[in-house]
């Protein structure tokens, strides 16, 4: 069976939580590959920043963008995000579920609202977007869903029981949806980053960074662009026979 020539086909991608960090790197990678990109943030306060980023992508790569405020934890808001992409461009071909939050603390002291908030955004938010996008993708008989999990979802981590539970749940969603959607030419995969250099890791002290690096076989933090490159591959036609997988990108931390 012939492989589609991607240079002749413009695909449309949604990247949730794409105003900064890994999400922004993923949006940049997809734009560089010729995808139109629907950018997302969760609050009006970040919309201006998102729109500035969108303008840069358009000017640099000659693609089209949308900037959408949507709280993925809310099913109606998630549905509106997917619908906006389809209304503007006619399809949603790639969905990257990157939006996520942390509210760390030891389990014995964790507030119920902190547990619920992380589950609502990271796990329920992923489900909400997958559900809304899957119906569109099934009709068009094509789709790529890439869910951002974490090595913490694979191995656990002290002080992050809520985050670990949410990211382990994302893996369960990924594997189940992969089985449901594969016959419609829709792949569903999860990416599980380790420690990646972002605003959050910049807040760590030098001694903390050194201690963490010693636990990583590669002896360094990853770069957001390295995660983005993996997502770009999973979104491509070259990854058409890869589905239901959890790919760790952690420099060998969880070996």
Q: Which helix (H) or strand (E) is 196 found in, with range?
A: strand 196-197
Task: Specify the 3-state DSSP secondary structure of 188.
Answer: strand
| Distance, C-alpha 21 to centroid of its chain | 11
The per-residue b/e assignment along 38-76, b for 16 or more CB within 10 angstroms, e otherwise, is bbbbbeeebeeebeebbeebeeebebbbbbbbbbbbbee
- Residues ≥6 apart with Cβ < 8 Å to 243: 178, 182, 187, 188, 189
37 sits in the region (left: phi over 0; alpha: psi -120 to 50; else beta) called beta
Token digits of residue 129? 């977007």
Catalytic residue among 35, 61, 163, 241: 163
Whether 35 sits among the annotated catalytic residues: the reply is no
How far is the C-alpha of 119 from the C-alpha of 140, rounded, in Å? 31
Residue whose token pair is 């509210």: 103
How far is the C-alpha of 90 from the C-alpha of 101, rounded, in Å? 30
Write out the catalytic residue numbers.
Answer: 163
């Amino acid at each position: 069976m012939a492989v589609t020539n991607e240079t002749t086909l413009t695909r449309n991608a949604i990247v949730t939580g794409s105003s900064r960090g890994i999400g922004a790197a993923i949006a940049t990678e997809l734009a560089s590959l010729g995808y139109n990109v629907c950018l997302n943030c969760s609050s009006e306060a970040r919309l201006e920043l998102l729109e500035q980023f969108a303008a840069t992508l358009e000017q640099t790569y000659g693609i089209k963008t949308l900037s959408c405020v949507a709280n993925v934890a809310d099913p109606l808001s998630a549905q509106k995000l997917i619908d906006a992409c389809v209304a503007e461009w006619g399809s949603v071909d790639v969905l990257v579920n990157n939006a996520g939050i942390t509210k760390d603390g030891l389990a014995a002291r964790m507030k119920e609202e902190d547990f619920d908030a992380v589950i609502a955004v990271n796990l329920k938010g992923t489900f909400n977007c997958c559900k809304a996008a899957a119906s569109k993708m099934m009709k068009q008989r094509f789709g790529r869903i890439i869910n951002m999990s974490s090595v913490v979802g694979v191995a656990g981590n002290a002080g992050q029981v809520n985050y670990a539970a949410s990211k382990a749940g994302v893996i369960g969603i990924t594997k189940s949806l992969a089985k449901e959607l594969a016959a419609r030419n829709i792949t569903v995969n999860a990416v599980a980053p380790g420690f990646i250099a972002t605003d959050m890791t910049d807040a760590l002290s030098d001694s903390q960074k050194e201690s963490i690096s010693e636990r990583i076989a590669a002896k360094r933090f990853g770069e957001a662009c390295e995660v983005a490159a993996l997502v770009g591959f999973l979104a491509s036609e070259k990854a058409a026979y890869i589905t239901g997988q959890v790919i760790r990108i952690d420099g060998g931390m969880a070996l």
